[in-house]
Chains A and B, each alone.
Chain A
């Protein structure tokens, strides 16, 4: 079993829709959590951190459920430009080698 698991998708939704996807992690000692975005054939870029109380950044909402060991990303009013792969990132400990990237969820927004 992978330490960080994501539904690979693709999620194919119409513009303006709300879409959500989850990421589960297996190590209960994981300390911090992030969502990265990766456009096709490009490098990953930090989208947002995920805080215990949940946090928003414009149309994006991230939530953490430590009891069930998953994080989620909600995108409201989706735009064509949101089409990308979203990577879940989990930091197991205070060490550079303990940062685990999920394999990503592919999102495609159609007009």
Chain B
């Protein structure tokens, strides 16, 4: 029972480099989300998707792009990494878009931009 799998788990980037974080879920969920978590800030929504081929901006979308070409995958891209993007990134999925049934989170990606 894989649930939500995020890769990579850790990464160190230099300022200006690019990378893609991959989120894969095997629960046939329609909704997928990318959050970042910083100390004292709580989880903040970067982008989300309500189905294959759709994406939408969340609270802090600047500097990130996303794609949902397949229902099970949600990719988060950083085109030109900045130190302010040092954070822990969590992907989540849900069947209804409502947290009442619980978001299933991946185990996180710890990204450091130097």
- A: residues with CB less than 8 A from B are 2, 4, 8, 32, 34, 41-46, 49, 87, 89, 91, 94-97, 99-104
Contacts and interface: CB of A to CB of B under 8 A. Distances in A.
Given A87-B42, A97-B59, A104-B42, A46 B103 contact: yes
A89 to B, nearest CB: 6
Contact of A96 (B41, B42, B48, B107): B48
9 contacts: A44-B43, A49-B100, A87-B42, A96-B45, A97-B58, A99-B45, A101-B35, A103-B40, A104-B42
Contacts, number: 59
Interface of B: 31, 33, 35, 40-45, 48, 50, 56-59, 90, 97-100, 102-103, 105-108
Contacts of A45: 102, 105
A89 B105 contact: no
B30 to A, nearest CB: 10
